[in-house]
Amino acid sequence: MKEISDLPIPASSMAGNLWPVVPGQRAAMMLALLFQLEQSQWWAPERLQAAQFRQAAEVLRHARRTVPYYGKKFDHIAWRHGQPLTAEIWSELPLLKREDIQDAGDRLHSRALPKSHGKIGTISTSGSTGKPVKVLTTDLTTAFWSACTLRGYIWRRCDFEAKLVAIRHAPIKKADYPNGGQMHLWGGADGGAVPTGPAALLSIMTPVAQQVEWLARQEATYLITYPSNLEAMLRHCQDKKIRFPTLREVQTMSELLKPSTRELCREVWDVPVTDIYTCQEVGYIALQCPGHQHYHAQSENMIIEVLKGDGSPARAGETGKVVITHLHNFASPLIRYDIGDFAEVGEPCPCGRNLPVLKRIVGRVRGMVTLPNGDQFWPFFSNRKFIEVAPVRQYQIVQKTLDSLEVNLVTDRKLVVKEEDKLRDLIAKRLGHPFAMTFSYFDEIPRGKGGKFEDFKSEL
């Protein structure tokens, strides 16, 4: 496996000093973080948790002292700064909901941010849940974002001299077709610690056929995009028998990745898919293991809890809601933040890393179907089954009421009644209820504001 010592040699900050280099301040910080991450991923779970709680204690102390929202929020907790922070004490802290962040507004922002944390920035979520929020970031949180990004490249043994391209949400007009946006470095490598090949960016709002044409011109080695967009590109390329000879890997993010999409990518392009688990408010939550399809929590950057309905920690094989505590955001401390996702806990990984394992990301509450009897579950539809029934290129199912669904379709042609009836039967069988269904046809089903797409969503 590629180690830190195998990284490209960074540029020296001193003229004439080529090797060993003396890196600049930003590069030195990134190299120091990468060195520590290389060590801590192998620590025993007890040592890793102890380090997390030491850092969490600092965040808790800071929040109590300088963030109005937390002023008296934790007064009932039997802990004072200087005392060890234990799992038992931690479990007594209340959860932070998305609505709490909205209601708190500026009261969730620190009134005395340490100057050493650098400049303050702002992240506003896309509002794909219908509940947009705004949190502050700092140079420190950005550094950890970059470190996790670079860790992912290292785990996957990426060729840093190759070209990386991304098709994702992008600033208006800065990455539009036909040229897209061109960069000198990959994302996460802006500090100069890791020299890279060029990178390019294309807006996710570009029609799929134009995306494919643009990608063919890039001669890229790595592609980053959303799972739903990848599937649309693969379907197009499958029909047109298009491959990309230079492409070695696709990385997906931001949406649920279906096993069928991994299989289709192998079938059509003959390249693997690596998935990452992120959230706009906190950044990298988990990276796919380089040797397996499950995910490793980024424990150096945050505490990740998976909690069952009674609030107790989920064990291996159990599913629960994902609760995040950012360990380095002192500008807008997010302590035990219920992000609205559900995940399944995995067994310890045979790779030897002791970073906790998430076997799979199940989905959001808004992605659950609700039956009239009150039962809820996350539906999974086979794309191949849809294609066997009719020429379906894209679909989206929206639950409008307890008894009705809206089925949005992109098809080669308007379906005949018999085909719609077969799709009704297929959907009803999968969901276990004879929902009333209306069909709507689109040239392309619109994405959310942040470029994300949901193939099932509930409006209940």
Mean local confidence (pLDDT), 50-76: 92
Show the tokens assigned to 3: 């180690």
Mean pLDDT of 314-329: 97
pLDDT digits (tens, 9 = 90+) for 97-150: 988 998 899 999 999 999 999 999 998 775 544 557 789 999 999 999 999 999
In the predicted structure, residue 460 carries a pLDDT above the cut 50? yes
Q: Between β-strands 273-279 and 249-252, what pairing exists: parallel, antiparallel or unpaired?
A: parallel
Query: What ranges make up the beta strands (E) of 188-318?
Result: 199-203, 222-225, 249-252, 273-279, 283-288, 295-297, 302-307
Taking only the tens place, the pLDDT of each residue in 64-102 is 999 999 987 887 787 877 788 999 999 999 999 988 998
pTM of the complete model beyond 0.95 = no
The pLDDT assigned to 4 comes to 54
Q: Which is higher by pLDDT, 134 or 350?
A: 350
**Residue 20 confidence (pLDDT):** 86
Q: Write the pLDDT tens digit of every residue in 394-428.
A: 888 999 999 999 999 988 888 999 999 999 999 99
pLDDT over threshold 60, residue 1 = no
For residues 232 and 248, give the distance between their C-alpha atoms in angstroms, rounded to a whole number: 19
- Position 364 scores a pLDDT of 67
**Both structure tokens of 113:** 């941010």
The answer on pLDDT for 6 being more than 80 is: no
- Backbone Cα Rg of the chain: 23
Nearest CA to 248 out of 218, 269, 267 is that of 269
* Phi-psi map region of 451: left, alpha, beta (phi>0 left; psi -120 to 50 alpha): left
CA distances from 288 to 262, 263, 315 (A): 13, 16, 19
Query: Are the C-beta atoms of 33 and 23 separated by less than 8 Å?
Result: no
pLDDT 10s digits, 280-303: 889 999 999 999 999 999 999 999
Q: Tell me: pLDDT of 227 over 70.
A: yes
Please check the confidence at residue 154 and state whether its pLDDT lies above 80.
yes
Q: How much is the pLDDT for 78? A: 76
Three-class secondary structure of residue 149 per DSSP: helix
Average pLDDT over residues 314-333: 97
Mean pLDDT, the chain, integer: 89
Residue 359: count of CB within 10 angstroms of its CB? 18
Choose the weakest-confidence range: 3-12, 132-141, 174-183: 3-12
The answer to whether residue 5 scores a pLDDT higher than 60 is: no
Q: Are 271 and 264 in contact (CB under 8 A)?
A: no
- Paired with 284 in beta bridges are 278
As given in the structure block, the two tokens for residue 139 are: 């140079």
Structural domains present in the chain:
369-458 (3.30.300.30)
d(CA 381, CA 428): 11
C-alpha 402/C-alpha 305 separation (Å) is 31
What is the model's pLDDT at position 366?
60
pLDDT digits (tens, 9 = 90+) for 34-46: 999 999 999 999 9
Nearest in space to 249 (alpha carbons), one of 337, 158, 174, 179: 158
Q: What percent of the chain has pLDDT over 90?
A: 64
Percentage of residues in the chain having pLDDT higher than 70: 94
Q: How far apart are CA 10 and CA 98, in angstroms?
A: 41
pLDDT for 274 equals 98
**pLDDT tens per residue, range 358-382:** 999 987 656 778 889 887 776 767 6
2 pLDDT above the threshold of 50: no
104, 86 in Cβ contact below 8 A? no
- The residue among 460, 457, 452 whose CA lies nearest residue 126 is 452
